[in-house]
Structure 1
Amino acid sequence: SFYLSPPIPGYAGNREPQAIISSCIAIKESTEVGDQAQRRVMKGVDDLDFFIGDEAIEQPTYATKQPIRHGIVEDWDLMERAEPEDHYLLLTEPPLNTPENREYTAEITFESFSVPGQYIAVQAVLTLAASWTSRQVGERTLTGTVIDSGDGVTHVIPVAEGYVIGSYIKHIPIAGRDITYFIQQLLRDREVGIPSEQSLETAKAVKERYSYVCPDLVKEFKYDTDGSKWIKQYTGINAISKKEFSIDVGYERFLRPEISFHPEFANPDLNYPIDVRRPLYKNIVLSGGSAMFRDFGRRLQRDLKRTVDARLKLSEELSGGGEEIIFLITCFVWMAGFEVVNLT
């Protein structure tokens, strides 16, 4: 999948992706970051010297770049360094992808990658289809609200009968990558002795291992009373000296995920069309790696119920049933694409 961040490649016929690869690329470059025009002029032998994915993060002497930002391809020169010409492509796109970007995607895949064929699908619709495989359902509906929070962007997307209600989409340019940067800055401010070339990698590891969503931010400052009980310790190896280093992880565990529960995130569907409002509440699907924080779904369910009760002054029982939250792993959009390919 092109627009997923990280990209998730795989073959039709397999039940799971072949790999989950970081969307960053490390290149040798003397010009300023993002200077695509200058890079085109200077193409040569250095153009073949690059690393992608996890290998790119481990190259301190290279310029690390993100060709995909907030779900949109911004640097096509770097994206062209893939070689999928042997297979048909099923690509997914974010809900607010522009027609121009979609056309350019098709142009690049056919002319530069020489693919024999391709299909571009909307991530939110595939996510709803993937939810069928996670549970036993009597009615396979494509109506629901998809909360897709990945590495680069968060979207809240209403889908009615397989069609995205575009005018009610919420685009929030905050997601997993921003959480990583925030944790990285917190660790730098504390001057905990992390090697500078490994600060981003360490912040990402701390986020994935220890972060969680708390029910009450004020009460969570229990770390002040007994730090030894609540603070975790992360241990890493310096890539250059091979010496071990360790850091304490405390407030970083719960502070950053709080941004996901800003009112803009929790309240987007209050103004949905009245005829589809109930089914959109009834089927809420979480997708993307940033929705996998511990207790994310429980907190979202609680906040949504409070919002609905305050707005409509009705209890959960009178509203026809509570919100059903389905937890989806990062690659579920890919799994839905697998089902689509096998139907063709």
Structure 2
Amino acid sequence: MAASLTSPPATATGRTVTLRAKRRRSALVTLAFLAPWLIGFAFFFAYPLLSTVYFSFMHYDGFRPPTWTGTRNWSYVFTEYPLFWPALRNTLWLVVVMVTTRVVFGLGVGLLITRIKLGTGVFRTAFYLPYLAPPVAATMAFAFLLNPGTGPVDHLLGDVGLPQPGWFNDPAWSKPALTMLALWGVGDLMVIFMAALLDVPREQYEAAELDGAGAWQRFRFVTLPNISPIVMFAVVTGVIQTMQYYTQPMIAGQVASGVIGNSGQQFEPGYPDKSTLTLPQLVYNLGFQHFDTGSACVIALVLFALAMAFTALLMRRRGGLIQAGD
């Protein structure tokens, strides 16, 4: 009788131990599958980020051991470094204007090509090919085309009586010229939007037409809600890419200033008059040209904070880009 009274608790204890063992094995299996990602995250994101934070409080030139300086690098970048605030303004301008125009233009091209009945493949190829051009070659070609003295664009504008801007040689037109270059290579967004547009259910368009909806109403109430996650993806990735915008403004400034042909000559970015200066250029300029790793790390952290802030702002559902049901 005593044995029968004590056996159920022993059985319950055994089941608990077995359940714990199964959970432990499941956790180990899950951890094994996650191990490649965790290792990559630790070595390629967490460690560089923590190192950047560490060096932002150090004086380090890459040759001698780092020495603690506290917030001296932060104070220097925000209050003494004359190129930081122009670069920040330019970067924010490019994020707001360039990303917006690329998304709108890419969506417009995608809508246009999906409506074309004949020659769709030709137009799709023609719009996508510029995206495949190397950034350096594309920027150099644009700089020569928009050259105010010898470029064909200003000659054509002059022939029809329109103003002839200085483009990459004019601080007021350099960023619009970079935006034009970005629109020329909008083929990546065009392909993404075309895939999303072709996936919109035709039944919804037919129902909207039966209700008397016009073209704008169909786009607003049928097309846009269905492709809103793709719009969000395009905006977020565009912001992140623009935060890393380095090659095009650097090459455009070098070509426009005539420095690109002089080998071995150090070039200070931002020509003309700091109008093409961006924060990634300052990271390279400080860290690899002036060997001020601490200040370069400060600007890198500012870039990281801005990218996270923009992404968090865009990912808020009440922002309107993603519908509540997505």
Whether these two folds match at TM > 0.5 is no
Larger Rg: 2
TM-score (norm 2): 0.29
Give the TM-score taking structure 1 as reference length: 0.28
Q: Which structure has greater helix proportion?
A: 2
Relative contact order higher in (CA < 8 Å, ≥ 6 apart): 2
Q: Whose strand fraction is larger, Structure 1's or Structure 2's?
A: 1
